[in-house]
Every structure is written in structure tokens, then in C-alpha cells.
Structure 1
């Protein structure tokens, strides 16, 4: 490994296969990939599965552990000749004070990480995709209360009382707080009369109202407007690639240029930039997560209009926006509009990780239109697609429901 110091940033050159740091190492350095390749190897918290993710040029890594002063959560290894920039915490602080774009990017990524962690927690707790926030918070406290981790339990219950003081579980949350403060255990705590003993073990899935009768689709809906990638033969692709937790977070650092190191100056403040395509997509995603489907749909359409799937750094935003526009149309009960979006994914982007979800939604559309046999055909296709995930389970649930109602 070679190294030099330039303007407060240390430049380090690594040979192929070098380890920049190991999981559980402690270090205050934050890294930026200048050239070459770096692979991050980490363990998925809910399954224990070992995953790998590649850092792209101009991206940070090692940020959270350095800022939080806790051990590294992943191992960073080079692939080929690699050059990285290493910043101490003091250098990093100087940089972010002079570069607003860096702060914006970091906040965006940390926000996405928090949302993904929240989804992982819901999966571990056995929740469905659509949950009541107050019940979710209560159940987190109840989980830690039952296993005896009272520090985390009382924190969750106090937050519940702070945000939801007049709700159904407020009295029960206060009972838990009093029990913990008095040195009691879960066995000593009794539910308040007239209240449930604990939050429900599961939440009902968001139910869709059936559409009006007389609605039908052609087997091959007309394509939606917009640019297309290479055409495929419909639904012949049986397997799709899996996506990891890190991939979307890393993509958040991408801008219209592959090399965004202009943001990383310690001397000159970064020049303000206009609203990027990623910024527009983030606004749409935020509206979707708040169930503001109408606003989200309009913004996703803007991304579709502006993005070009022929450009590698815009293709993901284009396809994700196409898929999410279909989701918004479906939630708004615009079944024909939703069908157009999802069918286009199956025709032109069947090699992406959105294929399975698109096919599931097409099945839902046919089901809501009263065309159960077509719906079953799509659900069965989804059931055989890999990797196995919650979409496969949802397809099985729909198959069982349709067969039960025959």
C-alpha cells in the first residue's frame, strides 16, 4: 500500500486483493473510492446471510462506523489496482462544512438506510407491508419488554406516550413503564382492564376493493409512451437477480457524472446544482411512502419523461419510476393505467428485479376485474420465480383465496 497527503486528504494506493479494513475493526477514517474497485462484504442482520456489494467511483464507505465510533460492519477489499482517499473525522468535518452537496447526499443515504432497517425490523416482527405506526411502535416496546431488554423497552414505550398519548394502548404502555421502573418483569405486569394483553401478533394486509363489473383487458395491452430498452419475449424469464440492502444506498451517490469528486474539496465550497433526476425521484418516493399516490404518480411521470434508459446512470431511475407509477395507478384504482405500466416492464425490462412485482400486480388487476383464471395464471408464474421473497408468499395467498372462492 502506498500513500501520500494532499490538502488534508490522504491518498492510499492498494494492490489487488488488499484489505482496507476488516469487519469489527475500529478506525476513525472515512474513505472515498477514487479509482479501481472495492467490494464490501457484510452480514444481513435478519438472516445472517453473507452479502457482497461493490463501491462505485466517487462514493463514501466506512462512514457510519467512523462517525458513530463503533466497529466496522463490513470488510472492505480491493479488486485490482485501487486508489482511495482517506479522511480523518476532523478532515471530514471541514469538508462537509464547505460542501453542502456532500451533506445532502449523506442525509439522503442515511434516511434510506433507516427506512430499510425499519422494514427489516417489521419483517423480523412478522408484520405485513402496511402497518399502523402506533401499533408498530408499541409492538417494538412489547418485544423488548417480553425478552427482558428493559432499556430498549422503556425507550419505545416513552416514545409511544410522547407521540400517541390518547390512543388505545396508551394505558398499557404506561403500565409497562411503571412495571419497569418498579423493578418488575413481564410476568408481573397485567393489562389494563378492557384492553388487550398485547398488540396483535399480525396486521391485516391492506385490502383492495373490487372494481366495477364489466371490466376487461386484452392479453397484450398497448405499450405506454416512453423510451424502451431491448424487447424480450414477455414472461419467459423465470428468474430475476436479487437486490441487496446496499445497492440502493450506493446508487444514491450517483449523479449525472460518474466522477463526482468535485464535491470533495477542502478548499472551495461546492457550487450549487439544480434539481437532479435523483432528487426528483426521491421526492416521488417520499410521496409514495406517505401514501400520497396522486402526487407521487405525477412526479414519477416527470422522471419517466426526463430519464433515458439508454444511459446506465438513468436506467434504474427510469425502470423504478415506471414500476412505481404502476403501483400508484393501481392504488388509485386506475386499473388500465396500471396495466400499461406493468405490461411494459414485462415486455421491455424483463431482465430487471421489477419483473416479479409487475407480474404479481398484473394478477391483482385481473383478479379485481373479475378474471380469476387469468389472475391465477400470473400468480402461478410468480410462485415459480426466484429468489423467494414476500412476493412469492403474497402470490400463494392470492391463489389460496381464489381457489377457496371457486
Structure 2
């Protein structure tokens, strides 16, 4: 059965590049589909109207999302699996005609853009495009999304032309998220200038990461190791993270490296070691924002070891800590159902 899912303002339904077979229909609220124009390289925004469907092409085709779906105001969507959506379409001829019209217009627009792009021999710089997306979210005060995108930038371009600025923007977004909360705070990129009008206390908090922090050798090594995980080179990544955790004087990278070591152990199917590492890590950093994800890996490790009772307990704990709007909640709910069914 299709499910009604609620999303809060500034939350993300899915990111560009995500893999999913879900198709959505907007019941209420506002959702924007943000994507990069292949001709100009600029980010475009399509507003989804109430009653319209989105995520259709990638959902039905089972390929990566081509756009990011951002919630502009509290929204309720119906989430369909491919099978559920196909069943709906087969019973609704007007919906089929509407889909054909939408796809036809999109194909004509894309064909025209591609022809223009090829004729001008222009190519969009993916590095700059990714950085621009993070900058967009920072300006829109969507700090969690900005942090996510800038971190992805550092994964793919640890020595990129804007790596140092990406690190500064991460720290700026994290500072504003803690001080103001999502959707609030000074305008950016002139955030520092405006904060000077607000008083010396804010200036100290903002200027320090903006002017003194650079992407160190340790930072470059860390993001290189993260890229090794994306290449499924788990043993190499584990060795690099272990070295960083042992050598780094920066506690932030020590903590992050220890967390990533647990991920490597999980992907290497060394579940006992994964559980032991994350258990120690959580005890040491109980308030770290990745604790929920670490617990998820612990629960999944138990499930792989056929210890379903422990898995159920861990998954329930993760659900109690996680808002329903987060993708982790849906993943954990699915794993909990699997664990309970195997008991």
C-alpha cells in the first residue's frame, strides 16, 4: 500500500544521485526539484504542484536521481513503489496521458539543450557544480544540506580548487546550525560582515573557523580514505583511517576516522570487530551526531550474525532517536521488520 509521508520545511526527500525505486505524489505543501541546467551549468528549480508526481523517471527506470527534492514548506507526499505506481497508472488513463505529455516536453527540452551544448563545445565543470549546490544551501540557511554537499565535494575533490573554502563553509554551516537552527541566521556569503553588527561574541564564533582553518594534510588524507570506501577498497581505507586515528592531533579527524574504521569493518563483513569498535566509540562519544548511524551498523551486524534479538533492540533504539523524515529512519524500520520476521 502507498504510504503517506510527512516532511518538514527544509528537509530533503532525496538527493541527486540517490538510488531509489520510489515515486511520489504531492498531497500538500511545497516541494522544489533542484537540478543543474546542462546548457548553462546553473541550478534550476521546478516547483511541484499539489497533485503532481515526481521522482518518476528515476523510480521507474531504477537509476540515480537526476535532481534534489527540497521541501520548501511542510509537505505530505504519497510514496509509491514501482509496482504500486504501475497499478495506479493502469487504472487511470488521464494520468497516462499527463505522463506522456510531461516526458515528451522534457525530452524535447533536453534534446535542444544537448544540441546547443555540443555546438558550442561547452562542458559543465562538475567540481564547480557540486560546490555551487552546497553554496546554494548555505545561502538558503539549509545548513544540514550544505554540510552534506560540501563534505561530498571534499570526498570527490580533496585537493580541489575550492577544498579550503568547502571546509570553511562546513564549519560556518555547523556554527550557524548550532546557534540559530535551520532556516535562521545571517544571510550568506556576507555572513561574517553582518555578524559584526550583531556583536563581538558572534564575531568570535564565526571568524575563527573562517580565517584560521585550512584543509590540512590530515584532512586531505581523511577525505582520500573516504573516497577509497566509495571505490570499495575497504582494506586500504581501513589502514588509512587507522593511521590517521593514531597520528592525528586534531580530535575531529581522530573521531571521524574511528567512525569510518567501523564502516570498513562492516563492509569487510568483520561483524564482531565492527560491533566492538562502535560500542567503544559510542561510549567515548555518546553525543556525536553519527551515533545513530553507528548503532544502525551495530544492529545490522547482529542481524548478519543471526542474533535477531539483539538486532531488534538496537533497531528500536535507533528509531527512538531518529525523526521519521530522515532516510535513516526508513532504512532502520525496514531492517527491524526483517529482524522481527526472522525471530
Larger radius of gyration: 1
For this structure pair, what is the TM-score category when the shorter chain's length is used for normalisation? 0.3 to 0.5
Compare the two structures and name the one with the higher helix fraction: 2
Normalising by structure 2, we get a TM-score of: 0.45
Higher relative contact order (CA 8 A, sep 6+): 1
TM-score by length of 1: 0.39
